[in-house]
Structure 1
Amino acid sequence: MRFRVREFELALMHRMRDLNAGRVEDALAVMGASRAEVRAAHTHWTRLAHAARAPKGAAVFRMALGPPRHAGPRAFGSLTCDVHRWALPSWPGLEFEVLTGPGGEVWNQWFVRPGGAVRLGFANLTPWACVVADVGTSFPDAVPLEGQAPHHWAVEFTHAGTAYRARFVYGLYQRLDRRVGGPAG
């Protein structure tokens, strides 16, 4: 199996199916892809991540996605990392960002909005159209949290007196759950 943009998208969708299986099924229909292709792409990507002779760091992403649309340094306090971003056809208006450390190791990988977060109304929380930073910017009491699986994140916030947890995979919004137990925080 060649591993290019389509296969990379399918590998991402494998994890997204954890939280939004319906949206993934719709995307697979549009792509003309099968569940077997999703499993095969995920397996291939996982093998690449652990193979001794496979490219490491940003190089494995360049192998699959080609040259990044953007590459450059970014300072986080006293640390500087390299940022690499690619546009992917299934998520227009967003880019997949990979942050690598001084030794080339991947520190983070997720979707971002080029140019920064946008402020959204509650009704505009649309699966696959928002990223973690959008929700954080849109709700003043937003609290980011780690998710319950690899590449999962959550943001808790309140709206109109109701507590919510927005769930993300690779930083891409998947679904909104009402929280039991009061306001976020």
Structure 2
Amino acid sequence: MTPAARISAPFGPYEFQLVLLRRMADHQAGLVDEALRELGAGHTAMREANKRWQAWAHGRSGRGELDRYRRALGEPEARHAVRGGSEAWLWPVPLWPDLRFTVLVGPGRAVWSRGLTRAPGAPAPSLRTADDLRPWHCTVDEVWRAFRDVEPREGVGPALARLDFTLPDGERAAAEFAWGLLQRTVPPLNARGSGGTPGPA
């Protein structure tokens, strides 16, 4: 099936990966191009998949966010309880075999968070210095656990997150994530000469 034909087919895991890539394309165009080649798709297919997803998300079908993920991705590979009375639902993502698309589901099937996390049993990267913070190499949860004085920043953008934190050498650093996956490091808010708060690309 050609990429164009696939995009006209029912929305499934293939199309959902294109949605993830669309959000990342503003930060890591080269990595996204490599992933598109792996999927046999192009930028037009990626944009069309994202357009369909956005229309679906904002439509009047009456489906909640969790139902949209289930309809696109099928039943989760795993579900497990987490603290706070919520449950984590995990789906595999072929582009990132060591990761899972994880939705944190609260009471009443409310979606509390969604994004890529490390798959259970998959080795996590060692994060000690700024050089270890490579694009697509680690998740927001892993950075949060690895460093100290972590401060999340609000209002970065849809499906985007930013953390400011302190490296072991005492320097402040900051990183931006799309769908929970590291995209780039940026000057921290309190960096001298940073010129103000950096925004999304």
- TM tier, smaller: 0.7 to 0.9
What amino acid is the match of 2:106?
G
14, 39, 46: which is aligned to 2:47? 39
Aligned pair 1:129/2:134, yes or no? no
92, 96, 101: which is aligned to 1:91? 96
66, 69, 87: which is aligned to 1:58? 66
CA distance in structure 2 between the aligned counterparts of 1:171 and 1:149, rounded to whole angstroms: 13
> What is the aligned-residue RMSD (CA, Å)?
2.2
Q: Is there any run of 5+ residues in structure 1 with no aligned partner, and where? A: none
Q: Is there any run of 5+ residues in structure 2 with no aligned partner, and where? A: 1-7, 193-201
Contact 1:131 1:173 in 2 (8 A): yes
What amino acid is the match of 1:102?
P
Distance verdict in 2 for CA 1:68–1:158, change over 3 Å: same
165, 175, 178: which is aligned to 2:184? 175
Distance verdict in 2 for CA 1:106–1:180, change over 3 Å: closer
The Cα of 1:151 is off from its aligned counterpart by 1.2
The Cα of 1:43 is off from its aligned counterpart by 0.8
Partner of 1:7: 15
The Cα of 1:36 is off from its aligned counterpart by 0.7
The Cα of 1:131 is off from its aligned counterpart by 0.6
Distance verdict in 2 for CA 1:114–1:127, change over 3 Å: same
CA distance in structure 2 between the aligned counterparts of 1:132 and 1:25, rounded to whole angstroms: 23
CA distance in structure 1 between the aligned counterparts of 2:148 and 2:80, rounded to whole angstroms: 30
106, 110, 117: which is aligned to 1:105? 110
What amino acid is the match of 1:93?
D
Contact 2:99 2:119 in 1 (8 A): yes
Distance verdict in 2 for CA 1:72–1:57, change over 3 Å: farther
Partner of 1:149: 157
Task: Identify which range, 28-37 or 49-58, moves more after superposition.
Answer: 49-58
What amino acid is the match of 1:146?
E
What amino acid is the match of 2:185?
L
Q: Percent identity?
A: 35
CA distance in structure 1 between the aligned counterparts of 2:86 and 2:160, rounded to whole angstroms: 22
TM-score by length of 2: 0.79
User: How many residue pairs get matched?
Assistant: 180
Partner of 2:57: 49
CA distance in structure 1 between the aligned counterparts of 2:161 and 2:152, rounded to whole angstroms: 7
The Cα of 1:180 is off from its aligned counterpart by 5.9
CA distance in structure 1 between the aligned counterparts of 2:61 and 2:23, rounded to whole angstroms: 25
Task: Identify which range, 51-60 or 36-45, moves more after superposition.
Answer: 51-60
Contact 2:163 2:175 in 1 (8 A): yes
Q: Deviations over 1:58-96 (max 9, x none)?
A: 2221221122111133332xxx22321111011121111
Task: Identify which range, 97-106 or 41-50, moves more after superposition.
Answer: 97-106
